[in-house]
Structure 1
Amino acid sequence: MGGVLRIHFSDRDFRHVQLARSADPVWEAFLGLHVLTTSLARLPRRLHPWRRRAVRRLRDADLRAASRLLRDLAPADAAYFPDFLTPAESEEGMAAALHTLRATPGTRLARELREAARYRTLPGWTRRLASGDRALLDQVADAVLHFHTRLIAPDWSEVEATVATDWERRMETLEGGMGAMLETLAPFAWRDPVLTAPYPVDADLHLKGRGVRLIPSFFCHTTPIAIADPSLPPVVVYPVRSEPPAPGTRHADVLAALLGTGRARVLSALTVTFTTGSVAVRLGMPASTVSGHLKVLRDAGLVHSERDGAHIMHRLTSRGRHLLRPP
């Protein structure tokens, strides 16, 4: 990791910054693939449960084949992988994204695979893809869908809720202006008018008045990722900050005195979105007790709860996150 990504803003760009409020299904599929090929020791703890579940699901031969095909095109350690794999239409959902991916012009396939070959040796089968083999391109699209359906979609409610929480935090910082929001985008550093972050290679993204679409990602866990082709709409994917700073011992004591020990523990456990049962398991408390504490916290405006299918998901509100923050 010897490079730096530099994103150059002009005054006009500030008017066209978009902060995605929902997770992107295609980016999450590829970044989930990267999590899957990264050792547990190098992952943040919040991703450990998903990786363990995903490894068990990979016993399926078709899923392993899909993963291998995608890993050939977009390995976790790649300094570059083709932009056609993550079309801007994924903003509209997986179906729109795959429709665009399947329709990628042959000239673009050849150009971007040639660019990828500058950084690493590509498998032999990619020569057929670069020559415009539509059946092979369909296989790539099918692999993205299969990987997402089997490994990402089962945990999509947690992905979406975590991204939504991140979005709320960024919106709060906008009270101080766009620069204040950009300063919160770790691992980026904001030095007006340039946003910088560690990157596999040295790269400059000149926005040229187009602005940029910033996409928070559940599975992104190291450096941000930017669309490489300067002719495409600028897109930057960055890792969510899913956990508020853990309260220190003294602050935890103050919270316990204010809320009661049980409710303070439940509040502090909601570092990401959880069901009642998962909070109970995490804290070793009866689910009925956790449910009672959550009701009190919800009534106080510290926790938000909403139904997602068969489950009710709980997450901190901005007031709850503020209360957890040490003074």
Structure 2
Amino acid sequence: MGGVLRIHFSDRDFRHVQVARSADPVWEAFLGLHVLTTPLARLPRRLHPWRRQAAARLQDDGLRAAARLLRDLAPADAAYFPDFLTPAESEEGMASALRTLRATPGTRLARELREAARYRTLPGWTRRLASGDRGLLDQVADAVLHFHTRLIAPDWSEVEATVATDWERRMETLERGTVAMLATLTPFVWRDPVLSAPYPVDADLHLRGRGVRLIPSFFCHTTPIAIADPSLPPVVVYPIGGPPPDPRAGADRADVLAALLGAGRARVLGALTGTFTTGSLAVRLGMPASTVSGHLKVLRDADLVRSERDGAHVMHRLTSRGRHLLRPS
């Protein structure tokens, strides 16, 4: 990792900064692919369960073929992969994104694949794609959909809930101004008027009054990723999360919460590190499900926990107030 991404702001850009409220299905598909091809030891622990499950599901021949095709175009270690793979229309959902992907002009396919070839040797089949082969482009779009449906969608409620939690955290800091919010983004550093972060290559993104759309990602786990083409709307995908908590401070906080809420409710609150069903929390804590359910009702009434139905299950996660109670910093 020898480069730096520098995002250059002007006064006008601050009026056009957006933070995506929900996860982007296409970006999560490609970044999930990167997680799948990254050694477990190099991944944050929160991604380990998904990585193991996804690796097991890859026994399916069709899914392996889809993953191989996408990996040829956008490997995890690529300094650049074509922007046409992640159209801005994915903000409107997977169907809209795939319509745009299938309609990518031939001139753009050729230009972006030529740019990718500057950084690495591309497989021979990409020459047909660069020449505008529509059938092959449809195969790429089908592979994105197949990979997302089989490997990302089964855990989408957790992805969405985790991204929503990050969004709420950014909105809280936004009360102190846009610069204060930008300063919370990891691994970025703010030095007026430039936001910078480690990157595979040296790159400068000049916003030129257009602002930037910031997309928090569940599967992004190393450096942020920016749309490379300066003529496209500026988009930057960044990893959720922050610095690890101080374990001594966590122990002190647990004692305070137990005195305030009672030991049982404090344990339930502290166990909500993501999105869980009542049953999964009960197993995690070694408590009867009925006891956990009672604690969750009290915490929900106090606006510390949010519960939402997802199909046959009710999923529980912390509210911004609950997170603040656990981690006041």
TM-score range, shorter chain: over 0.9
SS at match of 1:205: strand
Q: Any idea what the Cα deviations from partners look like across 1:40-78, whole Å, max 9, x if unmatched?
A: 111111111111111111111000000000000000010
SS at match of 1:176: coil
SS at match of 2:175: helix
User: CA–CA distance in 2 between the matches of 1:268 and 1:9?
Assistant: 38
Listed as ranges, the gaps of 5+ residues in structure 1 are none
Letter paired with 1:125: W
Report the counterpart of residue 234 of structure 1 in structure 2: 234
SS at match of 1:156: helix
Deviation, structure 1 residue 326: 5.2
Report the counterpart of residue 161 of structure 1 in structure 2: 161
The number of aligned residues is 327
Q: Any idea what the Cα deviations from partners look like across 1:149-196, whole Å, max 9, x if unmatched?
A: 000111111111111111111101111000000011111111111000
Deviation, structure 1 residue 289: 1.7
User: CA–CA distance in 2 between the matches of 1:319 and 1:96?
Assistant: 35
Q: Any idea what the Cα deviations from partners look like across 1:271-319, whole Å, max 9, x if unmatched?
A: 2121112222222222222111111111111111111111111111111
Letter paired with 1:275: T
Report the counterpart of residue 85 of structure 1 in structure 2: 85
Q: Any idea what the Cα deviations from partners look like across 1:26-45, whole Å, max 9, x if unmatched?
A: 00000000010111111111
User: CA–CA distance in 2 between the matches of 1:141 and 1:48?
Assistant: 27
Matches within 5 A, 1:1-327: 1-241=1-241, 245=245, 247-325=249-327
- Would you say the 8 A contact 1:10–1:207 is kept in 2? yes
- Would you say the 8 A contact 2:74–2:82 is kept in 1? yes
SS at match of 1:210: coil
Q: Any idea what the Cα deviations from partners look like across 1:84-110, whole Å, max 9, x if unmatched?
A: 000001011111100110111111111
User: CA–CA distance in 1 between the matches of 2:291 and 2:313?
Assistant: 17
Percent identity over the alignment is 89
User: CA–CA distance in 2 between the matches of 1:116 and 1:173?
Assistant: 37
Moved more, 240-249 or 295-304: 240-249
SS at match of 1:248: helix
Give 4+ residue runs of structure 1 displaced > 6 Å after superposition: none
- Would you say the 8 A contact 1:251–1:326 is kept in 2? no
Letter paired with 1:256: A
Deviation, structure 1 residue 243: 8.9
Change (3 A) 1:120 1:186: same
SS at match of 2:209: coil
- Would you say the 8 A contact 2:40–2:48 is kept in 1? yes
- Would you say the 8 A contact 1:242–1:272 is kept in 2? no
User: CA–CA distance in 2 between the matches of 1:242 and 1:85?
Assistant: 28
SS at match of 2:236: strand
Letter paired with 2:316: H
Deviation, structure 1 residue 202: 0.4
Q: Indicate the RMSD between aligned Cα atoms, in angstroms.
A: 1.3
Q: Any idea what the Cα deviations from partners look like across 1:111-166, whole Å, max 9, x if unmatched?
A: 10111011111111111111111100000000000000000111111111111111
